[in-house]
Structure 1
Amino acid sequence: MSNLIELRDVGKQYGEEVILAKVSFALARGTAAAITGHSGGGKTTLLSIMGLLQRATSGTVLVDGQDIGNLAASRLAKLRGEYVGFVFQRARLIHSLTALENVIAPAWFIRKGVKVEQEAKVLLENFGLSHRLHHKPQELSLGQLRRIALARALLLKPPVLLADEPTNDLDPSLAAEVTECLLAARTGGTGVVIVTHDAGLAARADQTFQLAEKTLRPA
């Protein structure tokens, strides 16, 4: 069975500046990998390549065994929408929409129907937010916003879930809640990659890597 995502000797540079060099990585179904490293070391760039938001300058990127290096931009965007869910450090919610509407919005274009709304409500209930369905982002706490963003990603049923510093700026109890939600995604076969400075979160992943000197090594 193919890995969900595999990088083989991947490099990324902008002009003469090398950001990543010979990075190799594989994500199996139902597993979580944590990536640590100092700020500005290329972790977010690496996550963007895994999420098909950026193309590698060199090396090979495989998605479910398929080399995506020569895919047209339109095909790459379609694959990204079907295959990858994102949880950013900033929730990036639409302030004019309620919590429930924010969760439903991206999925509505792919999976129209009443079932989508029902599944969104179940996710929000599982995340302890059933009493916040009709609240707008400006009425919610940071921890609630992060959980809404996670529910939004999970509703798309992505094979791969990518999270960039999901517990940053959260107090310990809220960080623990977000961590539980992220790791629970593995039970459905989703592969999870988490960029984090949170040692406690990294320790709970199935694999931990450190990005240092422009390459990735087991931690």
Structure 2
Amino acid sequence: MGNLLELQGISKSFGDDIILSDISFALAPETVVAIIGQSGGGKTTLLSIMGLLQKATTGRVLIAGQSVECLSPHKMAKVRGQYLSFVFQRARLINYLTALENVIAPAWFIRRGEKVEQQAKALLERFGLSHRLEHKPQELSLGQLRRISLARALLLKPSILLADEPTNDLDPALAEEVAGCLLGARQTGTSVVIVTHDLGLAARADQTFRLADGTLHAVAGQ
């Protein structure tokens, strides 16, 4: 099987500010990649381009060998839904839905009839949240929101999971739980890209890259 995700000569500018410069990158199946670097250095922008949420100024993005630059918004959304899932720093849950409903909602439209509710409950139980199924987001802690966001992403069974600072602001025990789930996702066929300041988490990835001065370089020793 070829690479799931490829960036070819990606650059991103906002006016005269060059955020990313001539970045090439490839993500193999069942691989965990970490991207580290200083705050404000463009890591989240790079992740957004990988996830087809932003367009690069120049360069190409390929998903499963398909270049996506010329796709219509509808087809772009279809590719995103077929291959990608996200864990954001902010959980981005729907306030009027319960924890269980938030986890189920995206998967329901993609995998209707596949016992998504049963699988969602199993994921939430795995994350120690079986007693919070009926709680709304505003009734939950940051750690609980982050785990719900991760359960929502994993329930989609994506080919590619993109995670932006998934362990940030979590206590060590919860951070380890989230890290373990992300690293374990490759065992079920998902490749993971993690943007993180957590050097311990980055060291456990299959590959680590550093984004500095707009360019991406592999970290030696991995």
- Quickly name the TM-score band, shorter chain normalised: over 0.9
Provide the secondary structure at the position in 1 that maps to 2:187: helix
Deviation at 1:114, TM superposition (A): 6.5
Hey, what does 1:212 align to over in structure 2? 212
Map 1:1-219 → 2, pairs under 5 A: 1-113=1-113, 115-219=115-219
Q: What's the TM-score once normalised by structure 1's chain length?
A: 0.96
2: CA distance between counterparts of 1:189 and 1:156?
12
Deviation at 1:112, TM superposition (A): 2.2
Query: Larger deviation: 201-210 or 136-145?
Result: 136-145
The size of the alignment, in residue pairs, is 219
Structure 1 unaligned spans of 5+: none
Provide the secondary structure at the position in 1 that maps to 2:110: coil
Deviations 1:122-178 (A, max 9, x none): 111222222221222222222111111001011111100000011111111111111
AA partner of residue 55 (structure 2): R
Q: Is the 8 A contact 1:31 1:191 kept in 2?
A: yes
2: CA distance between counterparts of 1:206 and 1:107?
28
Q: Is the 8 A contact 1:103 1:155 kept in 2?
A: yes
2: CA distance between counterparts of 1:138 and 1:54?
29
Q: Percent identity?
A: 71
1: CA distance between counterparts of 2:19 and 2:90?
23
Structure 2 unaligned spans of 5+: none
2: CA distance between counterparts of 1:17 and 1:199?
28
2: CA distance between counterparts of 1:142 and 1:17?
33
Query: Larger deviation: 106-115 or 88-97?
Result: 106-115
AA partner of residue 65 (structure 2): G
AA partner of residue 78 (structure 1): K
AA partner of residue 134 (structure 2): H
2: CA distance between counterparts of 1:92 and 1:184?
23
Deviations 1:79-117 (A, max 9, x none): 111211000001111222111111001112222236111
2: CA distance between counterparts of 1:109 and 1:62?
25
AA partner of residue 96 (structure 2): S
Provide the secondary structure at the position in 2 that maps to 1:46: helix
Q: Is the 8 A contact 1:89 1:165 kept in 2?
A: yes
Q: Is the 8 A contact 1:143 1:178 kept in 2?
A: no
4+ residue runs of structure 1 moved beyond 3 angstroms? none
Query: Larger deviation: 43-52 or 12-21?
Result: 12-21
The Cα RMSD (Å) is: 1.2
